Structure 1
């Protein structure tokens, strides 16, 4: 493994430690004269930063775009980046499930790139010592999460970081102390196992003790989906179900991830995709770019005059099967 591959893996470890999702792209096949080499890797972040070399000026923006889609969907993709239709003499037929992306500026070269999402493991801390606590941690571990159990007096703020999901289930054994300690540590999620009445009482008590209201407002109580009448151990299922739902909705993103998503939304609003080669084209606030063509009332943007002229000669060829 070369130095560049080690650097990419080190970068991957750093992002994972910060809880950031990203994608790894690997060239699994190439057709000369593509500049990408088989086995080459690149790491792509959610906001489109790329680390490593995956191909030239035409291939790279396409891979970045597809990697961002992979990050959002959390589903891997195998890309075929080529210059002619799959099945032509120069290229093998594209198997089902492979995403074909025409690359008019790749000369006669082509690439197959495997893009896979990397989703950091969730860190769950369950505070308490009941059978439900142990079951919740066990179920979370079965999902591939990193689940821990702690209790007073051994629990400290060092046990919690900004990516932690914390469930306080002390249930009468030091509730006030445990909830205050966890709230002040500012985890990504804080839930309290208690009845609605007990939860309100605890929050009012902590407010009187001087715990900032903005911290108390972040406490989910009673934590867990309402599954009706449940046993003590079944509460663990209800809690895990709520956490899974919130994760799917993106509720556990860190401030850095939220800022990245905001930047990405802004970037997407000022870019267009060349329908011929798939490259990103910068469009200013007025909708202007260097190479455009209007077809059926829609303005299309292109990376170069060549792509514009190819599109103008046969628009239907490039509009019949656009990837969304």
Structure 2
């Protein structure tokens, strides 16, 4: 690793934010640390890996058997994050696709992302509690990496992972707390998902390192994990094969993320579902949503978190460190 760039120490909290981090915590500008395939072993034993997989599992449990329409606590901090995402969403309208010879990867995306990066500090100053503004130079990197790559004009599970890491960091600094778990998935992450889909469609973004029909989806993975947790003990979408039925999709796509994902796939892909989405077709034969959920978590660890082409782009700082995990860290 290169020399760590220290940003600052934790400020004292005086307006209701729990002091999650020690007073002398030093924020760092995140940087890439997995440079070779052999570094993957360091990543899989790192604090960042344990924090991140624990975060995915915690929110997976929090939304179990709950529809998106469930009443949940919406804190002021969650509201401010939603407002920030709405600003990011509206920014897309300022950069319509340009006329260009190539069909995919509209260059207007670069202008949009450049403007986002220009505004990201300002957005986060408005969205985050003043007591943790020192964390902004660290957490903003994850936000900026969440929407795709400007050079390749592509998007994939690594960008999705950056947004999940952004949210994980906000829990670590105390800007989000356990009571926010459900709202973070249903309101914040779901809003992010709609922005990601909008970007993919408007700028005709390429899938980043897509496995094609051998992956769940060309772009996303996490909403299938959390979405399948929502469907555990949901009698109206059982057996799971029902998620392929058009009337089920029409009726429940606003209630369940998994169904929303299937609806989106059916809209953007033509031909038999079994051919263009083979993995999802196979999943439909599994007997319970609980088994599907656990299987998807295992698949995510194997097909995303264990893949060097994804992890080589992951950034590590003070909140998600590459150092080895220990029980008394």
TM-score, normalization by structure 2: 0.26
Which protein has the larger Cα radius of gyration, Structure 1 or Structure 2?
1
Higher relative contact order structure (alpha carbons within 8 Å, sequence separation ≥ 6)? 2
Higher strand fraction (1 or 2) = 1
Higher helix fraction (1 or 2) = 2
